[in-house]
Amino acid sequence: MLLDHAPTDTIAAIATAPGKGGVGIIRISGPQAPQILQGITGKALPPARQARRAWFIDAQRAPLDDGLVLWFPAPASYTGEDVVELQGHGGPVVLDLLLARCLALGARMARPGEFTERAFLNGQLDLAQAEAVADLIEAGSAQAARCAARSLAGEFSRRVEPLFEQLTALRVYVEAALDFPDEDVELLHHGAIGERLRQTQDSLHALTRSAQQGKLLQEGIHLVIAGLPNAGKSSLLNALAQREAAIVTDIPGTTRDLVREWISLEGLPLHLVDTAGLRESSDPIEQEGIRRAWQAIEQADLVLLVIDDTLGEGAAEAAIRARLPARLPVLSVHNKIDLSGQPAGVREERIYVSAKQHDSLHLLRERIKQQVGYEQCSNEGLFMARRRHLNALAHTAQHLQQANTHLHQHTAELLAEELRLAQEALGEITGRFTSDDLLGRIFSSFCIGK
Ligand SMILES: Nc1nc2c(ncn2[C@@H]2O[C@H](COP(=O)(O)OP(=O)(O)OP(=O)(O)O)[C@@H](O)[C@H]2O)c(=O)[nH]1
Ligand SMILES: [Mg+2]
């Protein structure tokens, strides 16, 4: 496992955001942290976990700053190691001087996420909690922050744990069948394994649904507005963003660049992209705009295909639909109903709106949430999850499915193996089974000082 290479060097970093601020914090973790603290204050260690005022001094004992020191002896600290915090004035130059002094006294610069990585390696946090630290910092909405806080408090891990236990119990049962081959057939015929397997699959399914909601809240969705020139794409973007973000004119081909807006749909972060109208064009600028539009579509989670309802949907739209990636969900939005006279509402999977009159936009918002499976009211038990977690849950589900097949074919060895693989995939979430390579990737995405 991981704990056999616990670090022995001491790391330091500026923990507060770059720039000027009232207070700036330097964090030091590792065995030399107490000596560095004594070196930087020229005094004995302060009492543990109590703020003390001190002068920070350089090698010639000249003052660098006047601040607070905090001393957290291991293991009752963030990283589980000896930790020191220096709270000085938040100027970039003074913080650099303080950090340089820490390095001169024996610390080395921390890599991004290294404090949290050490907390994980020392068992202060599991992996899902460690990731929640970064997600809390990055949270783009109040809902996302609350979900990240729940994951940090261990809510996600607490829901993974019983599943893990269920799998252990199942494995014990099946391994027993393997150890006593005479009773093998009987055990596998026994409905109990099938029943337990089904229960485990059900719990996994419920957990996956919650995790999907969490991931939506963390990453949001990329929604691209596409369609023919003049269909009202930019008008729709402006209406959804509630500001005049994109230029609107009655000249077809107005928009060339991608216009990006970020909005929150009752807590769901929505990255809107307005694009150039899709048509054959000989204008090189417009051609480039159309190329970018397709590029944005390739990366979208959802496309709003805007149709001018006074013209209706025709061959040009059909050509666009044919070129859309097959995996991509598309919402058909009929615009300009104030001109076409069509009633507002949703009919046959099409939404009838007026971007100009802001008519039926609430229905559009509802449909977007429905399409991506966002259940805004059920935020309560939600926790933050990442793509990595969803992948792990999906792999677990696949192995359980395989296990089911082997159960029906009475191939006990293969059943046991699939259960083992399922448990391994599930264990990746909290870091029970995790490669160093994966850890490196997870923690390097953190900011320095975290
Ligand atoms: N009456 C009415 N006019 C609309 C509506 N939506 C857009 N328009 C008008 O249609 C024209 C084109 O609107 P835009 O939003 O610029 O259309 P677009 O799809 O972004 O066009 P390009 O950027 O050229 O591809 C403008 O004159 C708008 O005022 C609507 O719901 N009702
Ligand atoms: Mg436009």
Kindly report the protein residue whose alpha carbon is nearest to atom 26 of ligand 1.
250
Q: Computed over its alpha carbons, how large is the radius of gyration of the chain?
A: 28
d(CA 79, CA 113): 11
CA of 232 to the centre of ligand 1 (A): 3
pLDDT in tens, 341-367: 999 999 999 999 999 999 999 999 999
The answer to the question of residue 450 being in a domain is no
CA of 232 to the centre of ligand 2 (A): 7
Q: Is 277 in the pocket of ligand 1 (CB under 6 A)?
A: yes
d(CA 373, CA 387): 16
The answer to the question of residue 171 being in a domain is yes
The one-letter code for the residue type at 131 is E
The Cβ of residue 140 has, within 10 Å, a number of other Cβ atoms equal to 18
CATH value at residue 185? 1.20.120.430
Could you identify the atom of ligand 1 that is nearest to the CA of residue 247? 16
* 142 and 112 inside one domain: no
The one-letter code for the residue type at 151 is S
pLDDT at 189 over 80: no
pLDDT at 3 over 70: no
pLDDT in tens, 15-63: 998 888 899 999 999 999 999 999 999 999 999 999 999 999 999 999 9
List phi, psi (to 5°) of 375.
-110, 95
pLDDT in tens, 198-238: 999 999 999 998 888 888 887 889 999 999 999 999 999 99
* 368 and 259 inside one domain: yes
| pLDDT score, position 432 | 81
From 224, 228, 235, 238, give the residue whose CB has the most ligand 1 atoms within 8 Å, as the site to mutate: 235
Tokens of 293: 């539009």
- Averaged pLDDT for residues 291-302: 96
CATH value at residue 340? 3.40.50.300
* 196 and 342 inside one domain: no
Tokens of 308: 């001018």
* 339 and 208 inside one domain: no
Q: Confidence band (pLDDT; 50, 70, 90) for 1?
A: very low
Could you identify the atom of ligand 1 that is nearest to the CA of residue 274? 20
* 319 and 253 inside one domain: yes
The Cβ of residue 295 has, within 10 Å, a number of other Cβ atoms equal to 12
pLDDT at 178 over 80: no
d(CA 374, CA 203): 20
| pLDDT score, position 409 | 87
The answer to the question of residue 445 being in a domain is no
Q: Is 122 in the pocket of ligand 1 (CB under 6 A)?
A: no
The answer to the question of residue 446 being in a domain is no
Domain final residue pick, 74, 93, 125: 125
| pLDDT score, position 376 | 61
Q: Is 256 in the pocket of ligand 1 (CB under 6 A)?
A: no
CA 206 to chain centre: 19
The answer to the question of residue 440 being in a domain is no
Could you identify the atom of ligand 1 that is nearest to the CA of residue 238? 15
396: containing domain: 138-216+386-430
* E strand intervals along 30-82: 52-57, 63-72
- HSE of 105, CA atoms in CB hemisphere, 13 A: 27
The one-letter code for the residue type at 310 is T
